[in-house]
């Protein structure tokens, strides 16, 4: 997502990433990796749970999920990963945004 | 099968502090598309 950040920026898209790590770990990771978009520690995954992020105890915890939300606040695309690496390509997400 | 949020549903609004300590509210981004990513954690 970071590699193609400018593609998202050009389309006026805001990227927000939430994660279960604590504020200090989150901040450190964001700084070390120079991640250009918004990152928010989601304490106790309260927000992620409202989006029904899947948890698989046999696969070491939370599975990634991604949503495209349109300018009216509606979810237009969802993807719930069923493994750690199950994340759609940026081109897929960009195409959805172009078709909104 | 577990519960999932359907496409077309209104996204649940939330308010969280970002890594810079600023408050991020999802509904504040109305008017532009948002890609929301739920990470699995770094550890």
pLDDT at residue A81 is higher than 70: yes
pLDDT at residue B2 is higher than 80: no
> CB-based contacts of B36: which residues, under 8 Å, 6+ apart?
A16, A17, A18, A51, A66, A67, A68, A69, B11, B26
Mean pLDDT within A69-96: 93
pLDDT at residue B15 is higher than 50: yes
Mean pLDDT within A65-88: 93
Which residue in B has a C-alpha nearest to residue A22's C-alpha?
Answer: B41
Q: Does any CB of chain A come closer than 8 Å to the CB of residue B23?
A: no
Q: What is the ipTM of this complex?
A: 0.94
pLDDT in tens, A26-69: 999 999 999 999 999 999 999 999 999 988 877 678 899 999 99
Give the distance from residue B1's alpha carbon to the nearest chain A alpha carbon, in angstroms.
Answer: 11
pLDDT in tens, B22-42: 999 999 999 999 999 999 987
Phi-psi sector, B32: left (phi>0), alpha (psi -120 to 50), beta: beta
* Interchain contact, B38 vs A64, CB within 8 Å: yes
When pLDDT is cut at 50, 70 and 90, the band that residue B1 belongs to is very low
Q: What is the pLDDT of residue A57?
A: 77
All domains of chain A in start order, with CATH = 5-98 (3.40.30.10)
């Amino acid at each position: 997502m970071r590699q193609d950040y400018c593609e998202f920026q050009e389309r006026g898209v805001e990227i927000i990433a939430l994660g279960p790590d604590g504020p200090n770990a989150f901040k450190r990771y964001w700084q070390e990796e120079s991640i250009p978009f918004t990152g928010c520690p989601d304490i106790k995954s309260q927000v992620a749970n409202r989006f029904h992020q899947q948890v698989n105890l046999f696969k070491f915890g939370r599975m990634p999920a991604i949503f495209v939300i349109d300018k009216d606040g509606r979810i237009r695309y969802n993807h719930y990963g069923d493994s750690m690496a199950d994340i759609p390509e940026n081109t897929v997400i960009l195409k959805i945004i172009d078709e909104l | 099968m577990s519960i999932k949020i359907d496409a077309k549903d209104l996204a649940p609004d939330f308010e969280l502090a970002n890594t810079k300590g600023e408050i991020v509210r999802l509904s504040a981004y109305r008017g532009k598309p948002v890609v929301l990513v739920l990470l699995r954690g770094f550890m």
